């Protein structure tokens, strides 16, 4: 029977943080046993925002190591460096010809990045969702484990798939997001989401216990005398959200009761939260170390998997070229 294909990618912009891990990687881990999965480090997307050419290769390797450390199993899923499979770019060009520019200009992520880097508004940035659609559709991905912030981009991918199918005949499935419990991890600052580009907002998956403690110590809290409902926003909300996801329901409940009874001690909560976060991350860090110390093992995986990915990708490109009416010469 045909197994559903799963695709997801993370930009090569630095170490993974808890948001990437809980919102995306946890979903990948859940799906790799059951489905045909391709998980990518999307380096072509990383160059759409300011970056250092001297550190791009390292940043790409870092995400690969974080993936392997987290438990992506090279025997169960394909691990891809996006730019090793140039068919991503080829498909994105074909798809770009059927999608309106005005729709791309309206996307919230484009507007946010434009505001964040007003001197770095490039074609690639505008084109990002088309390339992301091509990333998924190249493998005919049906499920996409990503955080909730990626929903507008997935909508674009579905619109493109629909439009292509109606113009050239049934070709692509409409990809759906696979949501994890941690689909939205708030920032340690208490404002917005945990984000690589916002200093002080994140805990990296490679942070040691002391670093985690120092980062949590800076999370803003209240006097501990408020009581009532747990706030929906701010530093206290972030602590409770992380406690629920990493400490479990029981521990979370204990602190909820303390909060309601106005006897919460945030120093204790932060200490316990640091411990449960570190407990979750320590096995990842140990496994990661093995791959870090054996780069040839990683290189062999990447080489072998790039070939396998390209085999699938070439079939899609052939089908798309034929359906769009390009000249195809058989060997
Ligand atoms: N805070 C988050 N909660 C849940 N999921 C999250 N993701 C990111 N932040 C959170 C998910 O992680 C994956 C990688 O996202 P990306 O490739 O877009 O990486 P990024 O944009 O570099 O990650 P950041 O931290 O969001 O960086 P900046 O600050 O540059 O925007 C996606 O599945 C995403 O949903």
What is the C-alpha separation between 84 and 97, in angstroms, rounded? 23
Q: Is the CB of 14 under 6 A from ligand 1?
A: no
CATH topology of domain 5-183+295-324: Rossmann fold (3.40.50)
Contacts of 75 (CB under 8 A, 6+ apart): none
Contact 326, 97 (CB under 8 A): no
What is the C-alpha separation between 270 and 275, in angstroms, rounded? 9
Q: Is the CB of 166 under 6 A from ligand 1?
A: no
Tokens of 265: 């001690």
Q: Which pLDDT belongs to residue 1?
A: 61
Q: Is the CB of 239 under 6 A from ligand 1?
A: no
Tokens of 261: 């009874």
Residue nearest to ligand 1 atom 26, measured at CA: 195
Contact 298, 65 (CB under 8 A): yes
CA 329 to ligand 1 centroid distance, Å: 42
What is the C-alpha separation between 38 and 35, in angstroms, rounded? 10
User: Residue with structure tokens 């941690």?
Assistant: 182
User: Residue with structure tokens 């907002």?
Assistant: 201
Q: How confident is the model at residue 225 (pLDDT cuts 50, 70, 90)?
A: confident
Q: Is the CB of 149 under 6 A from ligand 1?
A: yes
Q: Is the CB of 92 under 6 A from ligand 1?
A: no
What 3-state class would DSSP assign to 172? coil
Q: Could you tell me the end-to-end alpha-carbon distance of the chain, in angstroms, rounded to an integer?
A: 30
Go through 42-65 and write b for each residue having 16 or more CB atoms within 10 A of its CB, e for each that does not. bbbbbbbbebeeeebeebbbbbbb
90 pLDDT above the threshold of 80: yes
330 pLDDT above the threshold of 80: no
Contact 88, 135 (CB under 8 A): yes
This prediction's pTM: 0.95
Kindly report the average pLDDT of the chain as a whole number. Answer: 96
What is the C-alpha separation between 234 and 306, in angstroms, rounded? 43
Residue range 160-169: average pLDDT? Answer: 98
Residue nearest to ligand 1 atom 8, measured at CA: 20
Q: Is the CB of 19 under 6 A from ligand 1?
A: yes
Residue boundaries of the structural domains of the chain: 5-183+295-324, 209-288
Q: Which pLDDT belongs to residue 227?
A: 78
């Amino acid at each position: 029977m045909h197994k559903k294909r799963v695709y997801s990618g993370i930009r090569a912009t630095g170490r993974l943080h808890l948001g990437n891990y809980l919102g995306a990687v946890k979903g990948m881990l859940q799906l790799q046993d059951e489905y045909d999965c391709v998980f990518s480090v999307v380096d072509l997307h990383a160059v759409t925002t300011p970056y250092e050419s001297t550190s791009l290769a390292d940043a790409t390797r870092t995400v690969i190591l974080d993936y392997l450390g987290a438990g992506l199993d090279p025997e169960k899923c394909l691990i891809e460096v996006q730019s090793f499979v140039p068919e991503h770019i080829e498909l994105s060009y074909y798809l770009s010809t059927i999608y309106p520019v005005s729709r791309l200009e309206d996307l919230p992520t484009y507007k946010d990045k434009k505001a964040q880097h007003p001197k770095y508004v490039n074609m690639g940035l505008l084109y990002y969702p088309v390339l992301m659609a091509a990333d998924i559709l190249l493998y005919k991905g049906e499920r996409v484990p990503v955080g909730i912030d990626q929903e507008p981009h997935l909508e674009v991918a579905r619109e493109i798939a629909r439009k292509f199918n109606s113009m050239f005949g049934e070709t692509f499935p409409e990809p759906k997001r696979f949501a994890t419990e941690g689909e939205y991890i708030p920032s340690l600052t208490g404002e917005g989401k945990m984000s690589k580009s916002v200093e002080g907002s994140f805990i990296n998956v490679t942070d040691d216990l002391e670093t985690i403690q120092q980062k949590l110590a800076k999370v803003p809290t209240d006097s501990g005398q408020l009581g009532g409902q747990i706030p929906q926003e701010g530093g206290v909300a972030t602590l409770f959200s992380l406690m629920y996801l990493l400490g479990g329901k029981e521990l979370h409940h204990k602190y909820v009761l303390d909060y309601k009874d106005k006897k919460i001690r945030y120093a204790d909560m932060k200490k316990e939260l640091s411990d449960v976060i570190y407990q979750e991350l320590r096995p990842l860090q140990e496994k990661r170390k093995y791959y870090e110390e054996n780069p040839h093992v990683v290189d062999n995986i990447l080489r072998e998997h790039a070939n396998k990915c390209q085999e699938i990708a070439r079939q899609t490109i052939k089908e798309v070229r034929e359906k769009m009416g390009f000249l195809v010469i058989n060997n």
